[in-house]
Amino acid sequence: MRTVNVEPLSIRNAFRKNKRASGFTLAEVLITLGIIGVVSAMTIPALINRTQAKELEAGFKKSYSVLSQAVQRMQYEEGLSEDWEKEFGSNTFLPVFRKYLLNYVKCSGKLCVDSDMSVEGDSFKRVSTYKTYNKSQNVTLEWFDEGQMIMADGMFLMVNNSASQANNLVLTVDVNGIEKKPNLWGHDLFSFQIKSGKLLPMGHPKTTTDWGSLPCNVNSNARHNGIGCAYQVFQQKNYFKNLPR
């Protein structure tokens, strides 16, 4: 009779065979980890930028819709004339306008102010941290200082309503709130002007300022650079994807 030798099965023998068949060397593991790290470094920042761009775009659209509807309701309910923006003297607009904005948080001195910002030091310091479109300057504050509001979703609204300026009704909104970056004009901070009872994005041909220009320029060092960016959002399909980093 033919004898067949069978190697005894043991845990030690099974482990030895599997180790020879499927093991990785340390060098192979390190190379693999290095490749994963390089790919992650290349893709994660792009994913973050795309996500932020979508969030800012959604916030812009929502903010513009909320403000536009409030302007229309105010004109209808108050029985205002076609050019009613000229009827409001200094610091008189926001007390009326807020009645047509739903779900806002009552201001306190440290968060925001109902009227002239110059009387509230803490709020002034918060707003003064905003920078221009290309981050080259802190923004000029004269367009933000006649009253503020915080909406329940965090949207931060600032009003320019100065009787000394002919084009005096400008609403500036931080679409994701002052507590959340980037806090840059033309990125999450946008300005709109009320003209003939309509809310127009600053930069629109019918909007004006005392400075004459409405820049939204990566090369501008003006302290109001970014005030004209709201109009560019409507003109450029990929505006938020192409923001300067």
Provide the residue ranges of all domains of the chain, joining segments of one domain with +: 26-242
- If you average pLDDT over residues 110-128, what whole number do you get? 62
pLDDT at 229 over 60: yes
Question: Residue 12: which residues within 8 A CB-CB, separation 6 or more?
Answer: none
The pLDDT of residue 84 is: 83
The pLDDT of residue 101 is: 87
pLDDT at 195 over 70: yes
For residues 140 and 132, give the distance between their C-alpha atoms in angstroms, rounded to a whole number.
9
Q: State the pTM of this model.
A: 0.78
For the chain, what is the HEC assignment?
Answer: CCCCCCCCCCHHHHHHHHHHHHCCCHHHHHHHHHHHHHHHHHHHHHHHHHHHHHHHHHHHHHHHHHHHHHHHHHHHHHCCCCCHHHHCCCCCHHHHHHHHCCCEECCCCCCCCCCEHHHCHHHHHHHCCCECCCCCCECCCCCCCECEEEECCCCEEEEECCCCCCCCCEEEEECCCCCCCCCEECCCEEEEEEECCEEEEECECCCCCCCCCCCCCCCCCCCCCCCCHHHHHHHCCCCHHHCCC
Mean pLDDT of the chain: 81
- If you average pLDDT over residues 128-152, what whole number do you get? 87
Residue 49: exposure state from Cβ atoms within 10 A (0-12, 13-18, ≥19) = middle
Alpha helices in 157-219, H assignment, sequence order: none
Question: Residue 239: which residues within 8 A CB-CB, separation 6 or more?
Answer: 57, 232, 233
Helical (H) or strand (E) element with 148:
strand 148-151
pLDDT at 85 over 90: no
The pLDDT of residue 217 is: 95
The pLDDT of residue 109 is: 59
pLDDT at 116 over 90: no
pLDDT at 241 over 80: yes
The pLDDT of residue 199 is: 95
The pLDDT of residue 15 is: 47
